[in-house]
Structure 1
Amino acid sequence: MDIKQETNGTELTMFLSGRLDTVAAVDFEKALDAVSKDVTLLIVDCAELSYVASSGLRMFLRAQKRMNAQGKLVVRHVQESVMEVFSMTGFDSLLQIEN
C-alpha cells in the first residue's frame, strides 16, 4: 500500500492505494500517529484502495476515535469491494463516507 498526503491549513487528506492488509496497516498506523493536533479535518481518499483486511478496519476505527477528539474524519471515493467490507462489518454506519 502507498500513502500520499496533502495538507491545506487544518485539513489533511491521505490518499491510500493498493491493499490495506496486516503489513500495510502498520504504515497506516504510523501515518495516523503522525497527524498533527492542529488537524481538524482528516480525509481518507480510498479511490485507489482495492482491499481492506480486519487490521485495516481497526486503523479506520482508530482514525475515527482520534478525530472524534480533535475534529472530523471523512472517508471518500470508496471502491465497491471495500464498501462491501464496510457494509458487512457495520463500518458504513460508523464512518462518514462520501463519494
Structure 2
Amino acid sequence: MTVDLKWVRSGDTLIAALLGRIDSGSAEDFQRLLEDGLGPDDHNLVLDFERVAFIGSAGLRVCLVVARQFTGPDRNFGLCSLSQFNRDIVAVSGFDRIINVYDSRATAIESFAHG
C-alpha cells in the first residue's frame, strides 16, 4: 500500500490527513506530496496519522525534514492521532523529543493558537 493524503484547513492551520503505510517504499512519495501541498504562507502544519497503519524510519526522516521548515517564531508543526503502535515507534526513535505529538487534531490546533 502506498501513502495518500488529503489537505484540510482549520483557520490558519494546514492539516495533512494521511492514509496508508509510510515506509521506505513510500517515503519519497510522502515527501513529494507534502512539499507539493505546502505554500510559503503556511505557518502551521499538522500531520494527522489517524489512518496510518505504519510509519518507519524513512517516514520519520521525512517528518523531520518537513518539521525543520516550521521552526521559528509563529511557526508550528506536529503529529497527531497516532495509533499506540505508531506512537511507540515515534517514542522509541526519540522523535517525540524533537517533534510535538498531540493526541488529536483539535489538541494540536488549540496548542498552535496559544503558541
The TM-score with structure 1 as length reference comes to: 0.90
**Alpha-carbon shift at residue 9 of structure 1 (Å):** 5.0
Separation (CA, whole Å) in 2 of partners of 1:89 and 1:20: 15
The answer to which structure has the higher helix fraction is 1
Q: Which residue of 1 aligns with 2:107?
A: none
Counterpart selection for 1:17 from 8, 15, 19: 19
What are the Cα deviations for residues 60-90 of structure 1, in whole angstroms up to 9, with x where unaligned? 1011101115711021111111111111110
Cα distance change, pair 37–9 in 1 and its aligned pair in 2 (3 A)? farther
Q: Secondary structure at the match of 1:27?
A: helix
C-alpha contact 1:52 1:82 (8 A) present in aligned 2? yes
Separation (CA, whole Å) in 2 of partners of 1:55 and 1:4: 21
Is 1:31 aligned to residue 47 of structure 2? no
Q: Secondary structure at the match of 1:13?
A: strand
**Alpha-carbon shift at residue 8 of structure 1 (Å):** 4.0
Aligned residue type for 1:80? Q
Is 1:5 aligned to residue 46 of structure 2? no
Counterpart selection for 1:88 from 92, 96, 105: 92
Aligned residue type for 1:73? F
The CA RMSD over aligned residues, in Å, is 1.5
Q: Which residue of 1 aligns with 2:59?
A: 56
**Alpha-carbon shift at residue 14 of structure 1 (Å):** 0.2
Q: Secondary structure at the match of 2:65?
A: helix
Separation (CA, whole Å) in 2 of partners of 1:76 and 1:5: 15
C-alpha contact 2:4 2:30 (8 A) present in aligned 1? no
Structure 1: stretches of 5+ with no match in the other structure: none
Separation (CA, whole Å) in 2 of partners of 1:83 and 1:7: 24
